[in-house]
């Protein structure tokens, strides 16, 4: 620590960890100060300046488990200042898994702003417990459920998938509502919703 501090003061006192920063246009960025990747369990070479310094870019890689979908890989340094050499560690996460809306077993709801879409189905990236799940309702601008797309009509989705279609009892094809503003009401129970998209 003293040797690192003799080069630059903060090298001896600071600890690095990964934060999340994002931009929609590449010009204006938002940064969240909560740790995105914590330094992890204490062991030799960790919890010091330069540990877990994350490399630029996120790489889509094949999953390590057979049959699983692709995942995102982040690469970070380890033991940079505390060993004769430096290690490279790979961290993985699900596709589009940077943030999620989470609800406990007591349940919660999310209502989107009005949106326009194209495509004939709604697909979710989500993870739930065995007893949890997600249901979706399509609403008009007055907050009324669209016929056939009420919460009670939705087949609950549960499990862990990056691309699961949502179905309703009698009306799963969304073509009739393309181009009309709708709101989505998500009823979530012991689950995380990472992303949703409309598609073919």
Asked if 115 and 183 touch (Cβ cutoff 8 Å), the reply is yes
**Strand residues in the chain grouped as ranges (E):** 18-22, 30-37, 59-61, 71-78, 87-94, 101-103, 108-111, 121-139, 160-165, 183-199
Q: Please tell me whether residue 10 adopts helix, strand or coil conformation.
A: helix
**Strand partners for 30:** 22
Sorted by where each starts, the structural domains of the chain and their CATH numbers stand as 2-94 (no CATH), 101-199 (2.60.290)
- Cα 36 to Cα 19, 156, 159, distances in angstroms: 5, 30, 24
Q: What mean pLDDT is reported for the chain?
A: 89
φ/ψ (deg, to 5) at 3: -65, -45
How far is 4 from 14, CA to CA, in rounded Å? 10
> If you average pLDDT over residues 66-95, what whole number do you get?
86
φ/ψ (deg, to 5) at 163: -160, 65
pTM metric for this prediction: 0.83
Q: Please tell me whether residue 2 adopts helix, strand or coil conformation.
A: helix
Asked which of 23-32, 49-58, 110-119, 163-172 is least confident by mean pLDDT, the reply is: 49-58
pLDDT tens-digit series, residues 60-77:
999 989 999 999 999 988
* Residue 46 pLDDT: 76
Could you tell me which of 167, 104, 95 has the C-alpha nearest to residue 126?
95
């Amino acid at each position: 620590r003293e040797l690192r501090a003799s080069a630059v003061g903060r090298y001896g006192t600071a600890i690095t960890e990964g934060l999340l920063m994002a931009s929609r246009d590449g010009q204006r960025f938002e940064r969240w100060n909560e740790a995105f990747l914590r330094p992890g369990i204490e062991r030799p070479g960790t919890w010091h300046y330069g540990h877990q310094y994350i490399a630029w870019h996120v790489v889509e890689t094949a999953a390590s488990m057979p049959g699983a979908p692709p995942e995102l890989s982040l690469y970070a340094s380890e033991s940079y200042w505390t060993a004769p050499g430096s290690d490279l560690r790979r961290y993985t996460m699900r596709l589009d898994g940077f943030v999620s809306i989470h609800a406990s077993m007591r349940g919660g709801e999310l209502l989107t702003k009005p949106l326009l879409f194209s495509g004939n189905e709604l697909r979710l990236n989500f993870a739930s417990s065995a007893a949890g799940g997600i249901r979706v309702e399509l609403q008009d601008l007055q907050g009324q459920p669209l016929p056939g797309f009420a919460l009670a009509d939705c087949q609950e989705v549960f499990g862990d998938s990056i691309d699961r279609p949502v179905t309703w009892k009698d009306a799963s094809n969304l073509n009739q509502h393309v181009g009309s503003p709708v709101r989505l009401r998500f009823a979530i129970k012991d689950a995380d919703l990472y992303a949703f998209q409309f598609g073919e």
